[in-house]
A and B are shown apart, each in its own frame.
Chain A
Amino acid sequence: MRIQQVFRICNSCRHILKSKVIQPLPQVSQALSYTTEPTRYTVSYEDFKHVQDILPPSRIPEPPTHDSYPTPSGWVAPSEEAPDLPYFISRTKFHVLPIVEKEKPRDQPVTVVFYIDGDIWALEKELKELIRPYVEFDPATRVHEVTRSIILKGHHAQVIEKFLYAKGF
């Protein structure tokens, strides 16, 4: 009796509850069917061609043979026979002349020619005369025999490149 008294619905509430029809809740499984379904997939070999186009090469490619040199960007292929000179300059792994322009500390421009075999001093003499018209004072060069390189004061990469391409290196 006491429980009935506690949970007794008042007259107005009873009227409201009678007029409304309580609808059942929607089934949860219908909304989230994709979680219960297993994913079906196909294994395709044809689509992998699109992946193979994107994969990077593992080796540096060989440059193609051009009809005429220099190419539009100014690159010249090395001659097939070594030139008849007391020194030899080999190309880098990227098929480019081994000349680098850099800035030493306190704004000192410097050009480095490396990978030199044979008589380095003969090449140093020639490079000095090559650079003389572009330099205010005596051209400053330094031979580093351990690293097989010549270090020149100033930026002279273009002039040296032209000189070495003409020799056939």
Chain B
Amino acid sequence: TNEQMSNSSYKSLLRNLPRVNLQNLKANPYAEVKHSPNRGPHAIGLKNGVRPNIKPRIGYVQDKTPFQKRIPKYGYNREQHLKRQYFPLTLWQLQRHVDLGRIDPTKPVDITAISNGRVLSMVGSESNYYGIYLLEQGANIFKAKLDIEVQIVDELALATVEKAGGTVSTAFYDRRSFVALCNPVEYFLMGKPIHKRLLPPQELVTYYTDPKVRGYLSDPAKIWEERMKLAKKYGYDLPELSEEQKHLMVEGKKDPRQVFNGLMPGSIVNLADKTVLVPENEHFKQHAAM
């Protein structure tokens, strides 16, 4: 209580209580707490012309828990090192570069074609970019007939490309293969044998085996069905594909373990002599068997 007790009541309390200990005792709330003045060797912010090893550590706040300890931790940035990013590519950009002659519609459009035509600069970026994301912006004006290979596709972008008479496919490239494809000259100049492309990680296998997204690991027969379903959904007539395009879809241009089209893993490219060195030993052939 706030009232002060008399001496006799203290004595009676002591007699009645079973034992006096710290749990029974309470600090005097009216006592003056002496704070040590901010002077001396550990004083903060008062030392001019003094060597820094006398001052306290960075972040030290006298008599208080520091700010960085007061705020609790929360996993806002957990798993950031495992996340993947993709470069956005709109249909309008593709159409503009076809009009200007920087992308050849007669050849397949993949990461190297987009990098060579300077549509996107994918060099010198952070280490978590894994490819290209085809976006639907510009679907109302898109008219080019292209065979595109990207990493992720929007549904409307798929429909517009197929309506114009082209084909789309999505394929996975690991970080090393992606960098090699963005700048193949730099990769060949290293003089190392071509590596094998990795298969997608567990969380992406369902994406790349899905015919709705024209994944490179999916069944070509199901892709054929999905094309017709998409045409019905968006209400356009499916144009007929040429023989080359059909061959592309059924047998596929590239093996899932191949980085460059037509070049086997294990071979070395000689840019100076304009040749390719293909190894003949058994174990190299087994490695390249894919």
Q: Please tell me if the beta carbons of A41 and B143 are within 8 angstroms of each other in the complex.
A: no
Closest residue to A76 on the B side, CB-wise? B99
A residues in contact with B279, CB < 8 Å: 39-41
Within the complex, the shortest CB–CB distance from A86 to chain B, in Å, comes to 29
Residue of A nearest to B187 (CB): A54
Residues in B with CB closer than 8 Å to A96 are 100
* B101 lies within 8 A of A63 (CB): yes
- B99 near A66 with CB under 8 A, answer yes
Determine whether B78 belongs to the interface, using a CB cutoff of 8 Å to chain A: no
Partner of A47, one of B92, B100, B143, B267: B267
CB of A69, distance to nearest CB on chain B (Å): 10
Residues A75 and B96 in contact in the complex (CB < 8 Å), given A42-B280, A50-B263, A61-B101: yes
**Chain B count of residues within 8 A CB distance of the other chain:** 37
Chain A binding surface, main DSSP class: loop
Q: Is B133 engaged at the interface, CB distance under 8 Å to the other chain?
A: no
Question: Is A72's CB within 8 Å of the partner chain B?
Answer: yes
Chain A residues numbered 120-169 whose CB sits less than 8 Å from any CB in chain B? none
- Is B274 a contact of A45 with CB atoms below 8 Å? yes
**A73 at the binding interface (Cβ < 8 Å):** yes
Find chain B residues with CB under 8 A from A61 CB. Answer: 100-102
Proximity bits, B259-286, A CB within 8 Å = 1, else 0: 0111100010101001111111111100
State how many residues of chain A have any CB contact under 8 Å with chain B: 33
**CB neighbors of B among A84-134 (8 A):** 94-96
CA distance A60 to B100 in the complex (A): 10
How many whole Å from A82's CB to the nearest CB in chain B? Answer: 22
Q: B99 contacts A75, CB within 8 Å?
A: yes
A75–B276 contact, CB under 8 A?
no
In the complex, what residue of chain A is closest to B271 when comparing beta carbons? A51
Let me know if B209 is at the binding interface, CB within 8 A: no
**Contact B141 A41, beta carbon cutoff 8 Å:** no
Question: Complex formed: what's the CA distance from A155 to B263 in Å?
Answer: 48
For the complex, give the distance between the alpha carbons of A40 and B278 in Å.
Answer: 9
Judge whether A30 is part of the interface by a CB distance below 8 angstroms: no
Please, what's the 1-or-0 string for B98-140, where 1 marks a CB less than 8 Å from any CB in chain A? 0111100001000010011000000000000000000000100
Any chain A CB within 8 A of the CB of B207? no
- Chain A positions within 8 Å of B274 at CB level: 45, 48
Binary per-residue interface labels of chain A (29-60) against chain B in the complex, 1 for a CB within 8 Å, 0 otherwise:
00000100101111111011111011111001
Between A and B, 14 residue pairs with Cβ closer than 8 Å are A39-B279, A39-B280, A40-B281, A45-B275, A47-B276, A50-B260, A51-B263, A53-B261, A56-B116, A62-B101, A63-B99, A63-B101, A64-B101, A72-B142
